[in-house]
């Protein structure tokens, strides 16, 4: 009797899941992929009774996001699927995220196959986190992602070589290793060799010294898939580059896949050989740009979710606005904030983020060093005052604000010392600089207008690369 009941309950749950998957299927084409991945995919149907469909979000943030943006569309899709008008209620269920995906997703959660190690000896290890599933897709990296997927699906096919390039911390290594992981899963017979430009160089030089060149070549030219990260390291070392060129050709001519990651385009590589450059350009070149705000937020959400942390939307926005051009730095900021919240045992708030992450202002200017004069000029433009006035001595209120903001920004964004800053500002004492910085720091906490000004100014530097 009890067994019977349980069975029915299970059937019911399965039917509900299947229907829910259909609802999501209806919605999928109408929302951004990242939104779908980051928000909707994490929802689960709990029950349907009367005209209410209750769904669970893995945490508050997602509930808010659904309620803010997706309720009408969800209700409409649910009405179609269930064949009756339905209202959607969202509740937070922390376990929702860790439940296995519903069976109706077309496949049941696959247990990953044991790592049949197809990495060639001498290969660098792969980071377990760098898989396709952990990668957030946005317009800045879509081409690179698609290229990497295509290569993982049919190595040595149409996209050979695949050349990924872009600035630091934008996901090149992640995508490259994701190819390695995926091949391990789907093509366990393929021999994968993953090396950085540096490790290629070291192994080559060692082989030369130890007269083991034959062995080195057997390994490098025997791979089915060669992944070379940070090729720029090789590009100015003549004999290593020559060796790499031969390796490349040997693989290329036998339709074996080559994937290259670089911090600059083939055109900008310091390579002596045009042959090499044109080889690099002959396959698929995909550049990864800095992620837009939405993608940065999606990345933060995904990482926060992985830590089962609830981070208020305003904090996510704040962080995503603060750190523009390097996802590694963004991740670091999140980890730092989570650690702080956990140690201090306080909920995460905007103020806490300000306090803990303020110094990222400095690092987030990784677009390149900004000099004091540029900052002063920009601040002058922003407040509509002259550079000479900022550097001068007059103490009208508007001037003082501009001057102090400029000092604060120079302090945060350059490595200038206090006395140096004083000098740049028309020979002021370093205590004046300290006073200005303290004043602005305090002001940032209570004066939203000031906060906005400082943020906008910061951003204007970051966009100028
Ligand atoms: P690069 O090789 O371009 O310097 P990485 O691949 O090392 O950058 O990426 C830096 C960090 O940012 C890694 O931890 C990576 O997982 C993360 N990351 C980069 N892009 C994304 C993305 N689109 N989604 C999720 N994480 C990302
Ligand atoms: Mg890298």
The model's pLDDT over 375-385, given as tens digits with 9 standing for 90+, comes to 999 999 888 89
* Angle, helix 313-322 to helix 327-344, in steps of 10 degrees: 140
Name which residue leads in pLDDT, 276 or 9.
276
- State the CB neighbour count (10 A cutoff) for residue 126: 21
Rounded to whole angstroms, how far apart are CA atoms 57 and 42? 7
Q: Would the pLDDT of 112 be above 50?
A: no
Q: How far is the CA of 42 from the centre of ligand 2 (A)?
A: 29
Contact of 160 with 255, CB cutoff 8 Å: yes
Distance between CA atoms of 294 and 306, rounded to whole angstroms? 18
Scanning 154-193, the segments in alpha helix (DSSP H) are 172-186
∠ at Cα 49 (48, 55), nearest 5°? 35
Q: Output the residue whose Cα is nearest ligand 1's atom 26.
A: 135
pLDDT at 38: 59
Q: What does the alpha-carbon distance between residue 211 and residue 197 come to, in Å, rounded to a whole number?
A: 21
Nearest CA to 281 out of 246, 313, 252, 322 is that of 252
Residue 97 reports pLDDT greater than 60:
no
pLDDT band, very low/low/confident/very high, at 336 (cuts 50, 70, 90): confident
Evaluate the omega torsion of the peptide bond into residue 335 and state whether it is cis, within 30 degrees of 0: no
Q: How many other C-beta atoms are found inside a 10 Å radius of the C-beta of residue 95?
A: 10
β-strand partners of 257: 225
pLDDT surpasses 50 at 260:
yes
- pLDDT of amino acid 228: 97
Pocket test for ligand 1, best of 124, 328, 332 (most atoms within 8 A of CB): 328
102 token code pair = 């519903």
Contact in structure between 194 and 229 (CB atoms under 8 Å): yes
For residue 254, the CA-to-ligand 2 centroid distance in Å is: 27
pLDDT for position 238: 84
DSSP result, 296-310: HHHHHHHHHHHTT--
Average pLDDT over residues 128-142: 92
Confidence of residue 148 (pLDDT cuts 50, 70, 90): very high
Count of helix runs (H) and strand runs (E) in the chain: 21, 8
Given pLDDT bands bounded at 50, 70 and 90, which one contains residue 366? very low
User: What is the tens place of the pLDDT at every residue in 205-215?
Assistant: 999 999 999 99
Minimum CA distance residue for ligand 1 atom 20:
171
**Contact of 164 with 288, CB cutoff 8 Å:** yes
- Rounded percentage of the chain residues whose pLDDT exceeds 90: 43
Q: Which of 123-137, 275-289, 346-360, 451-465 has the lowest mean pLDDT?
A: 451-465
Residue 54 burial (CB < 10 Å; 0-12/13-18/19+)? middle
Task: Kindly state if the Cβ of 102 falls inside 6 Å of ligand 1.
Answer: no
**Contact between 178 and 131 (Cβ < 8 Å):** yes
Question: Which atom of ligand 1 is found nearest the CA of 141?
Answer: 23
**Which pLDDT score is estimated for 353?**
93
Q: Which of 3-7, 9-13, 181-185, 414-418 has the lowest mean pLDDT?
A: 3-7
| Average pLDDT along the chain | 84
Q: Quote the CA–CA distance of 317 and 311 in Å, as a whole number.
A: 10
Question: Structure pTM?
Answer: 0.59
pLDDT at 104: 35
pLDDT reported for residue 361 = 59
Q: How far is CA 392 from CA 134, 154, 379, 418, in A?
A: 52, 66, 14, 17
Q: How far is CA 101 from CA 48, 78, 114, 133, in A?
A: 19, 19, 21, 14
Instruction: State the sign of the Cα–Cα–Cα–Cα dihedral 148, 149, 154, 159.
Output: negative
Is a pLDDT exceeding 90 seen at residue 32? no
More confident residue, 60 or 239: 239
Q: Please, what are the domains in the chain?
A: 2-98 (3.30.300.180), 132-288 (3.40.50.300), 293-366 (1.10.8.60), 372-463 (1.10.1750.10)
Burial class (CB in 10 A: 0-12, 13-18, 19+), 316: buried
Q: Kindly tell me if the per-residue pLDDT of 116 is higher than 70.
A: no
Nearest Cα to Cα of residue 180 among 125, 133, 250, 254:
125
Pairing of strands 52-57, 44-49: antiparallel
Residue the block writes with tokens 């290594």: 173
- Distance CA(226)–CA(118), nearest Å, equals 12
- Strand, coil or helix: 87: strand
Higher pLDDT, 364 or 285: 285
* Contacts of 248 by beta carbon, 8 Å cutoff, 6+ apart: 161, 258, 276, 279
- Residue with CA at minimum distance from ligand 1 atom 9: 171
pLDDT at 178: 96
| CA proximity to 25, closest of 12, 41, 13 | 41
CB atoms within 10 A of CB 101: 15
Segment (H or E) for 194: strand 192-196
> In the predicted model, is pLDDT for residue 120 greater than 90?
no
* Stretch among 161-165, 231-235, 308-312, 356-360 having the lowest mean pLDDT: 356-360
* pLDDT tier, 18 (very low <50, low <70, confident <90, very high otherwise): confident
The pLDDT of residue 388 is: 93
pLDDT above 80 for 62? no
Atom of ligand 1 nearest to the CA of 229: 2
Dist. CA 196 → ligand 1 center (Å): 16
Letter string b/e over residues 127-153, b meaning 16 or more CB atoms within 10 A of that residue's CB? eeebbbebbbbbebbebbbebbebbbe
DSSP E strand stretches across 219-295? 225-229, 257-262, 284-288
Is any atom of ligand 1 closer than 6 Å to the C-beta of 171?
yes
Q: What pLDDT score does 217 carry? A: 96
């Amino acid at each position: 009797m009890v067994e019977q009941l349980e069975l029915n309950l299970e059937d019911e749950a399965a039917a509900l899941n299947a229907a829910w998957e259909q609802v999501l299927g209806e919605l999928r084409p109408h929302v951004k992929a990242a939104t779908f991945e980051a928000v909707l995919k994490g929802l689960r149907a709990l029950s349907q009774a009367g005209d209410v469909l209750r769904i669970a979000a893995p945490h508050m943030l997602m509930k808010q996001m659904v309620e803010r943006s997706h309720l009408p569309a969800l209700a409409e899709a649910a009405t179609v699927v269930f064949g009756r008008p339905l209202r959607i209620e969202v509740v937070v269920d922390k376990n929702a995220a860790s439940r296995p995906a519903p069976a109706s997703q077309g496949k049941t959660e696959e247990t990953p196959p044991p790592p049949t190690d197809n990495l060639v000896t001498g290969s660098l290890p792969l980071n377990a986190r760098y898989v396709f599933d952990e990668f957030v897709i946005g317009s800045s990296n879509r081409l690179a992602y698609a290229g990497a997927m295509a290569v993982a699906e049919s190595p040595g096919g149409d996209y050979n070589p695949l050349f990924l390039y872009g600035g630091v911390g934008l996901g090149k290594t992640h995508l490259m290793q994701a190819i390695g992981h995926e091949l391990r899963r789907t093509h366990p017979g393929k021999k994968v060799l993953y090396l950085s430009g540096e490790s290629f160089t070291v192994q080559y030089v060692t082989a030369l010294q130890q007269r083991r060149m034959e062995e080195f070549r057997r390994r490098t030219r025997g791979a089915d898939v060669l992944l070379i990260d940070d090729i720029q390291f090789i590009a100015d070392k003549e004999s290593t580059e020559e060796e790499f060129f031969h390796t490349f050709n040997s693989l290329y001519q036998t339709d074996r896949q080559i994937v290259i990651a670089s911090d600059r385009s083939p055109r900008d590589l310091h390579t002596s050989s045009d042959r090499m450059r044109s080889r690099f350009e002959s396959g698929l070149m995909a550049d990864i740009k800095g992620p837009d705000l939405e993608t940065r937020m999606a990345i933060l959400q995904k990482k926060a979710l992985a830590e089962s942390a609830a981070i208020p939307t305003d904090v996510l926005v704040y962080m995503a606005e603060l750190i523009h051009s390097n996802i590694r730095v963004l991740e670091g900021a999140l980890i730092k904030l989570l650690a702080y919240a956990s140690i201090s045992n306080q909920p995460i708030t905007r103020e806490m983020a300000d306090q803990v992450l303020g110094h990222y202002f400095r690092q987030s200017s990784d677009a390149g060093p900004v000099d004091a004069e540029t900052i002063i000029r920009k601040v002058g433009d922003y407040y509509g005052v002259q550079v000479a006035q900022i550097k001068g001595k007059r103490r009208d209120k508007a001037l003082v604000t501009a001057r102090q903001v400029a000092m604060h920004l120079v302090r945060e964004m350059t490595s200038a010392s206090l006395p140096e800053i004083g000098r740049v500002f028309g020979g002021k004492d370093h205590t004046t600089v300290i006073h200005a910085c303290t004043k602005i720091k305090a002001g940032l906490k209570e004066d939203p207008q000031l906060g906005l000004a400082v943020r906008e100014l910061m951003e204007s530097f970051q966009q100028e690369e």
